[in-house]
Chain A
Amino acid sequence: MARSSLASGTGKRARSAERPSSGQGRPAAARPDGTRPGHTPPPDWRPRVDPGPLLPDREPYRLLGTPAVADLDPQLLRELYGQLVRGRRYNRQATALTQQGRLAVYPSTTGQEACEVAAALALRPQDWLFPSYRDTLAVVARGVDPAEALTLLRGDWHSGYDPRATKVAPLSTPLATQLPHAVGLAHAARLRGDDTVALALVGDGGTSEGDFHEALNFAAVWKAPVVFLVQNNGFAISVPLDKQTAAPSLAHKAVGYGMPGRLVDGNDAPAVHQVLCEAVEHARAGGGPTLVEALTYRVDAHTNADDATRYRDDAEVEPWRAHDPVALLERELRERGLIDDAGIRAVEAAAEEMAARLREEMNAEPVLDPMELFDHVYAEKTSQLREQAAQLRAELDAEEE
């Protein structure tokens, strides 16, 4: 096949106008650019796309504290703030639930709330969110019930919410494997003529996985309406980014696939929201995928089970605590008189209420039916599963006697 495609190329060598001279001996006179006739460039080559417009900004895109923030809708800023405060509280509550043994594990997004919240708010009702294992908060911000979003992490069924009803894919633990799903779903929606966009989340470590590469490549080739948000939070468990990649930035990886890359301050909620909204609407309009790298920081350990002191100093965390997404937005709102103490108290009270409800729901023991183990393996139980279900039924009956 390779041979035939090369052969078919020989018919249209427009650029090799000069034929190699048949006379040996004297070399032909050089052209003005120093090249000599008979030494031809590769046939038909031209750049496939201009890489210039695809390149990310030199500096992370920001809005807070810049003149551009004045153009933003105050209502949006307040909504983002409310969600950030709620998200921060959610992270704290879920972490507390691990300490009480109510959750098996919780990978917190403390410090990353701006990315989590903006990802959810950038979507319209018909759009789909594809979270990674860390992104429970984005799932909740999208509207999924806070307790249902945690069933996986409490040892209950793997996905506590209905992905079809909520348009939120199940939390994906095998890193980056959810990215091709987002591409396929977005592609399918386009084939059907729907204006659905998929937004997929992945971590900096996940960008080293093959599925990251394959997903971006498929998305670009198919011009699929999908947006990839990389939360560069500095670590993959213990491994820092410089052991993960030699790329100028993760956003630069986009250029190699022929899609735009955007670099944004991941703790500047309005900036992340704006960049994602632009990418989502660009995709919806048929413009194809975008890769967004959000610079943020994992303030907590990898999970409650991790000891971050083994691989990083507190001194490294401090500047990020000062660049906190909740504090940054609060400062902006206060400076511009868009919120006062009473407003902040109201936001915090609403977050408290959410946390109290979550505690209450998580303190109730879930009731699981062991017989359901066999219900969803196939559309219909195989004879083998029917036998095994009967065995378990008998064991359960014996236990009850």
Chain B
Amino acid sequence: MSWQKKILRVNLTEGTCTPEPLNMEWAADYLGQRGLGTKYLVEEVDPKVDPVSPDNKLIFATGPLTGTAASTGARYSVVTKGALTGAIACSNSGGYFGAELKFAGWDMIIFEGKAPKPVYLYINDDQAELIPADEIWGKSVWETDKILHDRHQDPQLKISAIGRSGEEGVMYACIVNDLHRAAGRSGVGTVMGSKNLKAVAVRGTIGVSVKDPQRFMQTVTEKKKILAGNPVTGQGLPTYGTQVLMNVINEVGALPTRNSSAVQFDGASKISGEAMHEPRASDGKTNLVTNQACFGCTIACGRISRIDKEHYTVKNRPEYWGASGGLEYENAWSLGADCGVDDLDALTFANYICNEQGFDPITFGATLAAAMELYEKGVITDADTGGVKLNFGSAEALTTMAEQVGKNEGFGKILGLGSKRLCEKYGHPELSMSVKGQEFPAYDPRGIQGMGLTYATSNRGACHLRSYTVASEILGIPEKTDPLVTGGKAGLVKAFQDATAAVDSSGLCLFTTFAWTLEDFYPQIDAACEGEWTLERLAQTGERIWNLERQFNLAAGFTAQDDTLPKRMLTEPATSGPAKGKVNGLDQMLPEYYELRGWSKEGVPTSDTLQNLGLS
């Protein structure tokens, strides 16, 4: 119940699709989605594997609450060894695709091997087949979506696809579903492309049932009320989306600006959630058209935007005149503040291109920011860029480079490497703002100390979604801590990491945790799923997942040396705002964190820890 108890194994080399029962013992220990997908990967893939070789596997995993009436039951995760990082990768996406996969009767799809020629997977309830992708290979995500809808003559078909970036080996290609929802980070789309797998198209009419329907409906109704009544999930997110944060984070001096050379951006208000609501001087219309929910979501943080038809990016290009997925906070930061650009429509356009061609806007923006710094230092020259002036603040540089990465041409080929490889190539590895090869997102660890430990210890490389201590340090959720001190942050990060791992395995969206705690999750899981789900069991499941991911990374060759931050965060003090004069105090937090985790000084889980978690 709630699990469909069935997975689809697709051997791309052989061209076979085989149903298999879900391993229910593992489901009892790892719940679903992130946890269960990781368990399968760890059991089936050598951690030392080359991420883009046929021996890596790619797992699409739903959670037990995906496709139920629980608010935000939209989510699925893509689990693999990341192309960008070489670490465990798990990228989570909303939209409608995940629920549709569940309605078709599947908990998970495991892709293995590599197709001799490009293919896509078509699923219609229990029927699954691989179909030649000749017509869509080389096409964008948006073209692919249209062609497959037309070919199968089914408007209800839900499609998840890679664009050209995934085909051409851009290191941070993502997998985009429903046109603008993405499993965005760590290069999961690069792995998909390396397997010659273009898309997954699903239609599901079987539905999902739960263990105790009456109790489940009663519980989810109660929990939906909590979301509606909470100021963040009931008002802030629906009105401004995650962009509610732009002005807030700028004010606290934690908005990484111009490749983190500053922590405040003078153009922040121009690219904020508030600005998306303001009529443009040019055409009197607002950038924001409406908000949109993912499947089952009663928060509805998604942004649907429209660019002024006269804006230089879309003038005479009617294909970009319609409404489409608009700016989330992380993207507005990476394409905006981090590159010093304050032209809202230009950022929106760059974001469209990321969705259309399927590459991660966080890594792209952060990589361009590093390239801009190298350009201003004279290390990268006009000869490298084909004459494009890569100055901070140039909207033209941003949108030109977004299109070049999308087509994998010109300097876009170099930008497609990601910041770590790019900065190494030009002899300045210290200018890549990344951890374990992945660029960090929109919170400067000098202004929000806990985020330093978050980035340093995140299992998938720098990431805000592994322990969002911003909630506590800035927003006071569940309680306020001082963003400028390191004391207590080790415990905070561990608690957030474990809880997040559990939430990411349920099928629900992490954004509910602005209003909910695990106390609100376990009754919904317990009413839906077999077995008895208590708070303790759920919390322990999260901790088990964290340690399992850690073990995969250790076996892949990562060590405590990799639990660190770019030098800039540790040695160059913030130049303005409340954090002025501060660096990140990682060395004060990391040893305590290892201890709390039950890991050795070398960051390795002790045998006691593993035993307690049932991992030995």
A, B co-complexed: no
Which A residues are closer than 8 A to B by beta carbons?
Answer: none
Which B residues are closer than 8 A to A by beta carbons?
Answer: none
